[in-house]
A and B are shown apart, each in its own frame.
Chain A
């Protein structure tokens, strides 16, 4: 069965501290991995995706196929990073049209 696990429902850090939001997945095939973010009263939006190997707003995520993990990291958290973060593999291959399977989400709170 396809499964996404974000073990921390809540994560609190102070401004300037490093932050890591964990994501583990159990998936058949080779899914593409995404992180979506939802700021307060805003819509879900893409934060970053594995294929791009880019850094967005200082966040990076490394795909570890051995550990089937795609943890999101930022070396110095900012207050504006406070939001709900979702790890979402894409159902790849076959006749899939790219449905996303979301984890439970992690609420990140960055304190001043």
Chain B
């Protein structure tokens, strides 16, 4: 069964550094998402992406964040200048259609630690 993959599984960085988190969505999916989960807190929506542009973003997704689909397979989340509070688990998800009832498939997550 196809799966969403994410790399790396764990990223450690210094505050102020740029990080790029990578995701490979399921191949025929069209809708892509990033969520994050700070330790001990709930999973929070960051951004959705469709047709090569951001379709919706949360308040968390400020100018330090950007997303890109540089080729036909990867979907990346870039944090330009990391802060301590960016430490979290970041999940990528994808789904095949715009249907409200369609399932989002999640990747295993990247744990980002900002020192």
Q: Which residues of A are in contact with B by a Cβ distance under 8 Å?
A: 32, 34, 36, 42-46, 49, 51-52, 86, 90, 92, 95-105
Contacts and interface: CB of A to CB of B under 8 A. Distances in A.
Contacts of A45: 105-106
Given A44-B43, A90-B100, A102-B42, A97 B109 contact: no
B108 A101 contact: no
B48 interface: yes
Contacts, number: 64
A99 B48 CA distance: 7
Given A97-B48, A102-B44, A43 B108 contact: yes
A90 to B, nearest CB: 6
A97 B43 CA distance: 17
A100 B47 CA distance: 11
B31 A97 contact: yes
Nearest to B45: A99
A49 B103 contact: yes
B48 to A, nearest CB: 5
A10 to B, nearest CB: 13
Contact of A102 (B4, B43, B99, B100): B43
A98 B95 contact: yes
A97 B104 contact: no
B55 interface: yes
Interface in B91-115: 91, 95, 98-109
B9 to A, nearest CB: 11
A104 B41 CA distance: 7
B68 interface: no
Contacts of A43: 4, 91, 106-109
B37 to A, nearest CB: 8
B18 interface: no
A27 to B, nearest CB: 13
Given A43-B107, A44-B106, A97 B98 contact: yes
B42 A100 contact: no
